[in-house]
Amino acid sequence: MSDSNQNITQKDQPDIFKIGVISGKGGVGKTTVSGSLAVLFKEHANKIIAADCDVDAPNLGLLFKGGKIINNFKVKTTEKAKFLPDLCIQCKRCVEEQFCNFSALGWNDDEDLPIVDDIACEGCGACRELCPQQAFEIIQVDSGLITHETSPAGFPLVWGETKLGATTSGKLVTEIKKYVDSIVDANERAIVLIDGPPGIGCPVVATVSDLDYTIIVIEPTSTALHDADRAIGVLKQLNINHGIVINKSDAWKRGYEEILHYADENNIKIIGEIPMDNKVPNATVKGQTVYEYDSSCQASKSLAKIYSYLLEKVVPKSFQ
């Protein structure tokens, strides 16, 4: 089996090397892997920045509590309809003719005027186009928050969180990545380690689109492998180099063997196997990465091996 890393494209003048950690489904140990790898990179490599692009459920910060906030700002990447009552002639066509395909338009009987459900509105603009008075406008609203802090482990941690009802998680991911790029000085070289979202939707595509390497974390269950296969399909389409980490590798023998078979058939390198280890949940409860909690436990040793593999085979020497 060939090593999928051998085709890594070297940039002419690299200044940022981006590694992502994704999974087809949530809850399979993605943040366990990215958190400990960030600590290992901090200990042994050049500048490391950790970013959490799992904007619908950012958890990486939970492993690095107590950091110093450097920057914190709202992002407007979502559009919503705003009703303009002064223009309305109360013809009621917007509700009777069902202008809105997203059930976001209703009628306020008390005021005898239309009402927009901000959560349901997708900002498509149909109401503005169809209203004879153009009594709606499309405005940009807060869609999330980006926070930049210095983690207690000593590296910058940037994470974003989608606001309830925002429909543009992918755009928020793009904004996080742009911000991360902006905090690397022109003459610096940095490794950016991104904890990505699960699934195969827009946030995942936005996360992996320009990565140099992606780790797919899979637990040995049929559903996890099925979902990971879909995520790997996205990576293949985007031509992103990748390798598999099997988390809880000894949890179910048949599922484990299915992953080995899948990796072999698809010519994907298994870059690490993390056995079940109760130090992992214990560390999470304490708000720490497992590597910080106990660097000599079985899970930490496996993570250290994955880190060594990345240094040896994936990350260019100029970043180490």
246 contacts 220 by C-beta, under 8 angstroms: yes
Q: Which of 105, 180, 218, 224 binds ligand SF4 (CB under 6 A)?
A: 105
Tokens of residue 2, six digits? 């060939």
Q: Which of 49, 55, 75, 127 binds ligand SF4 (CB under 6 A)?
A: 127
In whole angstroms, what is the distance from residue 243 CA to residue 21 CA? 10
Q: Which of 14, 27, 125, 201 binds ligand SF4 (CB under 6 A)?
A: 125
Q: Which is nearer to ligand SF4, 132 or 154 (CB)?
A: 132
Q: How far is the CB of 129 from ligand SF4 (least distance, A)?
A: 9
201 contacts 22 by C-beta, under 8 angstroms: no
126 binds ligand SF4 (CB under 6 A): yes
Name 218's bridge partners: 246
In whole angstroms, what is the distance from residue 116 CA to residue 108 CA? 10
Span interacting with ligand SF4, options 131-139, 146-154, 170-178, 241-249, rule CB under 6 A: 131-139
The binding track of 254-293 with respect to ligand SF4, each residue x by CB under 6 A or -, is ----------------------------------------
Q: How far is the CB of 130 from ligand SF4 (least distance, A)?
A: 7
131 binds ligand SF4 (CB under 6 A): yes
For the CA atoms of 185, 213, 199, 197, the dihedral, rounded to the nearest 10 degrees, stands at -30
Q: Cα–chain-centroid distance for residue 13?
A: 26
114 binds ligand SF4 (CB under 6 A): yes
Half-sphere exposure of 184 (CA within 13 A, CB side): 22
Q: Which of 261, 252, 269 is nearest to 215 (CA)?
A: 269
Residues 80-99 that bind ligand SF4 (CB under 6 A): 81, 88-94, 99
- Number of residues binding to ligand SF4, judged by CB under 6 A: 26
In whole angstroms, what is the distance from residue 146 CA to residue 73 CA? 5
Q: Which residues bind ligand SF4 (CB under 6 A)?
A: 81, 88-94, 99-100, 102, 104-105, 114, 116, 121-127, 131-133, 135
